[in-house]
Amino acid sequence: MSFLRVERQIDVTRLTLARADVRNAFNSEMIAELTATLRQLATEPELRVLVLAADGQTFCAGADVNWMKSQRDVSQAENLLDAQRLFDLFRATYEFPKPVIARVQGGAFGGGAGLICCSDIVVMAENALTAFSEVRLGIVPATISAFVLRKLGEGRARELVLTGRRISAQECLRIGLANEIVADSQLDDAVARWTNELLLSSPTAQVVTKELLRAVPRLSLDDAREFTATRIAKQRVSQEGQEGLSAMLERRAPSWSPVK
């Protein structure tokens, strides 16, 4: 891969954006590479936690400005297809079946902020910044909007996407964009703590729970009744469901737990 690095360690895979010379900004090749890698990793049963990281001083500057400018020279159909591919990248992150931790240093702007909104846990350096900065460049936060609204809600998102202002790590924590802020030197330790917390839970239960989180808010109560009842009925008689219940009754750690 030209723009990414994948490192596997037992249950945890670290996917690193490796285009530090341009602050890990997206171009069409990087978008394709990242989307394909996410889709491949999603099929790996041994993977339990995905850590999304980045080389250099900036997590992700969003779309490469030179790439965006070059779209004026392509056909309307190709311009539209490129935008759809960018949406597909965010969707692949948002719908990733296993927990995703974003390790954010420096800054996450535009599409980089979109990646934060698509992640489950966000650990941010205390001096990091983020912004939905598209409007300040004369463009719009279109492909990330579905995921920003799901993360923040319309009321909070309106101010941030209309002003494009920079948001400190402390404010990210306050409004729910970040789960923890730490010194830059402590990012890896914080990611390790969150990873250990996630590994205590049943792998299949986490997959089903992520499905619930995505689907239930957009269901009517009648549809939610059927959808949720089906999920719990199936999970509690599954192998992991029975193992977890047995472990509680027997006062021992379940088989998937790293703590014995």
Residues annotated as catalytic are 134
Question: Do 157 and 97 contact (CB within 8 A), yes or no?
Answer: no
Q: Helix and strand tally (H, E) in the chain? A: 10, 9
**What is the DSSP code (8-state) at residue 176?**
T
Bridge-based pairing state of the strands 180-182 and 121-125: parallel
Cα 245 from Cα 243, distance rounded (Å):
6
Query: Within 10 A of 57 (CB to CB), how many other CB atoms are there?
Result: 12
d(C-alpha 32, C-alpha 1), whole Å: 11
Which residues are CB-neighbours of 43 under 8 A, at least 6 positions away?
A: none
